[in-house]
Amino acid sequence: MTAPGLPCFGAGGRIYIVAEAGVNHNGDPALARRLVDAAAESGADAVKFQTFRVDALLTRGAPKAGYQVETTGADESQRDMLARLELATAVLAELKDRAAKRGLTFFSAPFDEESADVLDRLGVALFKVPSGEITNLPLLRHLASKGRPIILSTGMSSLDEVEQAVAAIRAAGNPPLAVLHCLSAYPAPAAEVNLRAMDALAARCGCPVGFSDHTLGIEIAVAAAARGAAIIEKHLTLDKTLPGPDHRASLDPVEFAAMVRAIRAVESALGDGTKRPMPSELDTRRVARKSLVAARALRAGARLGAEDVLIKRPGTGISPADLDKAIGRPLARDIAADEVIGWEALAEP
């Protein structure tokens, strides 16, 4: 997946780390700006928000999810809660500019076509499809028609539903696409995360696959990186005790920075897959491996016999793997007892 300011998502590429600011700004532009700054300081590649219009998003009687009741109470409706979390277009434009100045890619998840059009006019680098919209095929087709890269979250979905969404996106414009495995629970229980589903998504969708993480802590996100995730998305908050639906399942800036460091360490450790001696172990190899060593003093001209050698450290002489090649060769010079035998001490047969 390529776009201005974006790397290529896929095998061998740098893991793309997204700080999901989401609605953790609590409707406050100043808090949203601080989230952009925190994402940059934590080492993220991108910062993501959510863009919606309450009137287009839900009915007046739409209930809250259980986690929303737990975090924000039952007295306020979901509609009223979300109405406080809308961001004006001018604020989104300001956040995009701020992110660019901090070296971050800014993007957002539109929940309706008008919101998608707003983001398109702002020139966002890509669109994010939230898990709840994966069956909203008209919205997916609308997004795909704009030609911008799409990251598709797949929480709550069956593999058939994911394939249906991917097919709709490809038929409506076939923009660059990545798919995120996700468990839409806040916080998500680690035992249900099922990271191996990333393999199924990669096989069936034929595109880069990542992980949108809602578990507590950083361990599962790091595990996803080790399993080959091209993208890691994780919620970021300035303070987990702030009011709002998602703060509790988020990382604070210190934790987010620790996650980034851990993912980068894993990324580096994954390597290129070629098994070979590495520079840091060459000295140990010389010390820990063994060589052919003279069992007694040997005279030049004699032929080396099996009884003339022992196998001892260090590994600076003829390898015991080459014992059969060395036996029977004449000695080019005298060799002292317990001396490491090198090829230069043997004459041609």
Give CA–CA dist 106/198, Å, rounded.
25
Which of 249, 270, 291 corresponds to the end of one domain?
270
Task: Give the residue-averaged pLDDT of 85-93.
Answer: 94
**Residue 286: CATH number of its domain:** 3.90.1210.10
Same-domain check for residues 186 and 286: no
Same-domain check for residues 221 and 317: no
Same-domain check for residues 297 and 244: no
Confirm if 250 and 25 have CB atoms less than 8 A apart.
no
Same-domain check for residues 102 and 245: yes
Task: Specify if 69 maps to a domain.
Answer: yes
Same-domain check for residues 194 and 305: no
**Residue 118: CATH number of its domain:** 3.20.20.70
Same-domain check for residues 236 and 299: no
Task: Specify if 1 maps to a domain.
Answer: no
Same-domain check for residues 266 and 329: no
Task: Specify if 4 maps to a domain.
Answer: no
Same-domain check for residues 176 and 290: no
**250 closest CA partner among 186, 298, 165:** 186
| For the chain, percent of residues with pLDDT exceeding 70 | 97
User: Does the structure show a pLDDT above 50 at 2?
Assistant: no
Give how far the C-alpha of residue 163 lies from the chain's centroid of Cα atoms, to the nearest Å. Answer: 22
CA distances 130 to 11, 53, 111, 279, Å, are 24, 15, 8, 45
Between 32 and 60, the more confident residue is 32
Q: Give the DSSP letter of residue 81.
A: H
User: Does the structure show a pLDDT above 80 at 80?
Assistant: no
Question: Domain limits at 100?
Answer: 16-270
Give CA–CA dist 234/214, Å, rounded.
7
Same-domain check for residues 124 and 30: yes
Task: Specify if 7 maps to a domain.
Answer: no
Same-domain check for residues 155 and 283: no
Task: Give the residue-averaged pLDDT of 138-167.
Answer: 98
Which of 270, 303, 332 corresponds to the end of one domain?
270
Task: Specify if 9 maps to a domain.
Answer: no
Alpha helices in the chain (DSSP H): 29-42, 54-57, 66-72, 78-83, 89-101, 113-122, 137-144, 159-171, 197-205, 219-226, 253-270, 282-288, 323-326
pLDDT score at 55 = 84
Task: Specify if 185 maps to a domain.
Answer: yes
Task: Specify if 81 maps to a domain.
Answer: yes
Q: How far apart are the first and last CA of the chain?
A: 60
pLDDT score at 82 = 78
Pairing of strands 46-51, 209-213: unpaired
Same-domain check for residues 217 and 187: yes
Same-domain check for residues 168 and 302: no
Using one digit for the tens of pLDDT, what is the confidence trace for 231-289?
Answer: 999 999 999 999 888 899 999 999 999 999 999 999 999 999 999 999 999 999 999 99
User: Is the four-CA dihedral 194, 200, 201, 207 of positive or negative sign?
Assistant: positive
- Asked if the peptide bond before residue 330 counts as cis, ω within 30 degrees of 0, the response is no
Q: Directed axis angle between helix 253-270 and helix 29-42, to 10°?
A: 30
Task: Specify if 168 maps to a domain.
Answer: yes
Contacts of 48 (CB under 8 A, 6+ apart): 18, 19, 20, 21, 22, 106, 107, 108, 109, 128, 233
Pairing of strands 16-22, 231-235: parallel
Using one digit for the tens of pLDDT, what is the confidence trace for 159-210?
Answer: 999 999 999 999 999 999 999 999 999 999 999 999 999 999 999 999 999 9
**The Cα angle at residue 3 between residues 182 and 219, in degrees rounded to 5:** 30
The domain tally of the chain equals: 2
Which of 270, 289, 313 corresponds to the end of one domain?
270
12 confidence band (pLDDT: 50, 70, 90)? low
Task: Give the residue-averaged pLDDT of 10-17.
Answer: 76
Using one digit for the tens of pLDDT, what is the confidence trace for 299-329?
Answer: 999 999 999 999 999 999 999 999 999 999 9
